[in-house]
Amino acid sequence: MRILYHFPLSPQSRKVRLVLGEKRLPFEPLTERTWERREDFLAINPAGEVPVLTEDNGLAVPGGSVITEYLEEAYPDAPLLGRTLGERVEVRRLVAWFDGKFEADVTRNLLGEKLMKRVSGGGNPDGNMLRAGYTNIKFHLDYIGMLAETRRWLAGASLSLADFAAAAHLSALDFIGDIDWAKAPSAKEWYARVKSRPCFRSLLNDRITGVTPPDHYADLDF
């Protein structure tokens, strides 16, 4: 059985789960608490990071970007990297934007400080990082809104990995109530379309002990 070692609110893990779901590839999700440094997990991925995908033949594929590229090559049905060279460039540009710049500007400052520190016993949130995250998210939501207003999907005419990369980060932040959707109507309309896809259902059912998501988190008509 295909296994995905993941953490429920890890954006990289969520991105992979969305791709697996969109491609209709069955898998068994196993929650990995990377801060526990389990020897069995480190034997699979010495970096000690999630996600890691293992196939029936024993192949272990580590890292969100490596896994999604692998899935595109191994299972080309329902392509998510674009059909033309130009489309593939734009998809990869936006994936790098969300997994790099958005992660550094927003996710690390908000999700990392408010939730990951809490569940891993890492101490109290850093106020300076929280303030930076709340400032930065406004710019990023405006950028997503601009893309959504000028294109059907973020990278162009077709749903792509760029949409899933963005939605993976936003859904994790939405879980902890850190997105003011009322101030980002265009981003909200795009996110609602991604959120309504069948592959998103398992993400909406995620729960973390001691953390209650806002009522709209799992609402498809929020």
| Domains, the chain, ordered by start | 3-74 (3.40.30.10), 85-198 (1.20.1050.10)
Q: What is the pTM of this model?
A: 0.97
pLDDT at 168: 98
CB 11 within 8 A of CB 172: yes
Query: Do 217 and 175 form a contact (C-beta atoms < 8 A)?
Result: yes
Q: Provide the pLDDT for residue 222.
A: 80
CB of 220 closer than 8 Å to CB of 196: yes
Q: What is the pLDDT of residues 34-70, one digit of tens each?
A: 999 999 999 999 999 999 999 999 999 999 999 999 9
Tokens at 167, concatenated: 């939605």
Q: What is the pLDDT of residue 132?
A: 98
Q: pLDDT tens-digit profile of 178-196? A: 999 999 999 999 999 999 9
List, in order, residues 6 or more apart from 129 with CB less than 8 Å away. Answer: 108, 109, 112, 113
pLDDT at residue 170, rounded to an integer:
98
Q: What pLDDT score was predicted for residue 82?
A: 94
**H or E stretch covering 14:** helix 11-22
Contact residues for 106 (Cβ-Cβ < 8 A; gap 6+):
133, 136, 137, 140, 169, 173
Alpha-carbon distances, residue 167 vs 35, 49, 171, 193 (angstroms): 25, 20, 6, 10
> What distances in angstroms separate CA 130 from CA 18, 125, 134, 143, 170, one per listed residue?
28, 7, 6, 20, 16
Q: 128: exposed, middle or buried (C-beta count within 10 Å: 0-12, 13-18, 19+)?
A: exposed
> Which stretches of the chain score pLDDT less than 70?
none
